[in-house]
Structure 1
Amino acid sequence: MRTILIIEDSEDQRNLLGSLLGSRYRLFMEGTAEEGLKRALVVKPELILLDLGLPEMDGYELCNRIRSIPDLESVPIIILSGQQGVEAHSKAYRLGADNYLEKPFEKEELLAIIESKLKYANKLMRKTIGNLTVDLKNGAAMINGEKLDLTPKEFKILAILWESVDQVVSREAILKYVWDKTHVSDRVIDNHVTALRKKIKEASVRIESIYAQGYKLLSN
């Protein structure tokens, strides 16, 4: 069952959304931005329904913060808000929202948007190049259908390179995505990349070092 996080301060709205979506999806609900962010970091939802009029930190700021977190930056965000007009819509889109529905919204429209977003996101989460398949959702990589024995950090390196195939990914980007705030030397990154290269040597892709820049994943 697909996972949706609802961040909405109105209990009535949470109950309404729960009745509408509860039989279709696995739901998590929070009433504040801070609690919503904490929950998102733990459950890694596949879609977020976000109200703008939240106490303390509003939905705009929360949307912006979610988009700055590597593990959450690609999660679809649908705004559900009573704020109307082009300015509210434009601000939400600039900060990373995918859709904006004004309250009261049409239930069928919301269901259709959710279904569309999850269907598209599912395609992005599993990709194949030649004989190598990377399943970002389940944290697995396979060559000719056989699962590779990758460490969590090796998989995260492969994932960030995979999402930017044929483009240079800087050491700084890899460091932030894989090690977060932990400081490690370039040598540590190199050692992990070397180990990853050995494990995908039979794949139809290769990792190329780009001097003074970073790494690039190329198809053979």
Structure 2
Amino acid sequence: MKKIFIIDDENYILELLKINLEMEGFQVVTSNTGKNVLNILDREKPDLILLDLMLPEINGFDICKKIKSFEKYKNIGIIIISAKSEENDKIVGLEIGADDYITKPFSIKEIIARINAVTRRTSKNSTENKNYIVLDIKNNTILKNGEILELQTKEFNLLKYLIKNKGRVVSRQELLENVWNYDSPSSTRSLDVYIRKLRVKLQDENESIITTIRGQGYKFLNSNS
């Protein structure tokens, strides 16, 4: 049975979601504040979080970023539910690590469908992904399942930058500026080539380690660094 943690300061929404999700067979934990969210995660170990943005004391963006900064929470899905419907808000939410973004008002059927989609994806990642990629800062090496990856300098720098920004969508422009140190049509094509080469060396055929976020960039999902 999947456990859902709902964080929203509107009690009627908490009650509405709790009743309907429990009718669908989910366990439900609720909170009307973002305070002590990490303690609740450690105690309840939810599979997914439904997160409002406009909360008292600490906003949903900050909560999402805090959760995604911890490796131990990487398999907990996060769906933002918010009245903030501007495109920029959605982009920011996805860039900081949310798995989905739903605007209020919403339908219960949509919520359940999105929950099922995200929990299927996160469950698959946690049970099937057996690659452990570690950045060894002291020795300036990258290891896969304990073995040093043989990488060219550009490959190493690219993968190192993605690992350091794990769980966050890194735009193509950001990679060009920080790994290539310049921007040109040739460097853009070069980025595509090096992403493909890294995927081959990581045996990332299904793109579960370096994931392409269409129209935005890349997200690194697998790291014990």
Q: Normalized against structure 2, the TM-score is what?
A: 0.59
Q: Which residue of the partner structure matches residue 140 of structure 1?
A: none
Match of 2:147 in 1: 208
Q: Which has the higher contact order (CA 8 A, sep 6+)?
A: 2
3-state secondary structure, aligned to 1:13: helix
1:3 matches 2:3 = yes
Structure-to-structure mapping, 1:78-89, within 5 angstroms: 78-89=79-90
Q: 1:29 to 1:91 in 2, by over 3 A?
A: same
| Structure 1, unpaired ranges of 5+ | 129-161, 174-185, 187-204, 211-216
- In terms of fraction of residues, the more strand-rich structure is 1
Identical columns (%):
30
In structure 2, the residue matched to 1:102 is 103
Whole-Å Cα distance in 2 between the matches of residues 10 and 37 of structure 1? Answer: 20
* Structure 2 residues without counterparts, runs of 5 or longer: 150-201, 204-225
- SS of equivalent residue, structure 1 residue 22: helix
The 1:84/1:172 distance shift into structure 2, 3 A limit, reads same
**Aligned-pair Cα RMSD in Å:** 2.9
Q: Deviations over 1:90-125 (max 9, x none)?
A: 111111111111111021111111111112222222
CA distance in 1, matches of 2:116, 2:145: 35
Aligned equivalents of 2:103, 2:73: Cα separation in 1: 24
Q: CA deviation at 1:29?
A: 0.7
Q: CA deviation at 1:207?
A: 3.9
Which residue of structure 2 lines up, in the alignment, with residue 92 of structure 1? 93
Aligned residue pairs total: 149
The answer to whether the 8 Å contact 2:131/2:145 transfers is: no
What CA distance in whole angstroms lies between the structure 2 residues aligned with 1:68 and 1:126? 21
| Residue of structure 1 equivalent to 2:64 | 63
* Distance across 2 between alignment mates of 1:96 and 1:118: 15
TM-score (norm 1): 0.60
> d(CA) in 2 for partners of 1:85 and 1:21?
27
Task: Confirm or deny: 8 A CA contact 1:5 1:47 kept in the other structure.
Answer: yes
User: Post-superposition shift, 1:26?
Assistant: 0.9
The structure with the larger Rg is 1
Spell out, residue by residue over 1:22-50, the C-alpha distance to the aligned partner (whole angstroms, 9 max, x if none): 13211111111123332113222111100
CA distance in structure 2 between the aligned counterparts of 1:105 and 1:206, rounded to whole angstroms:
43
Residues 47 and 75 in structure 2, CA contact (< 8 A), matched pair in contact too: no
Output the CA distance in 1 between the equivalents of 2:45 and 2:136: 25
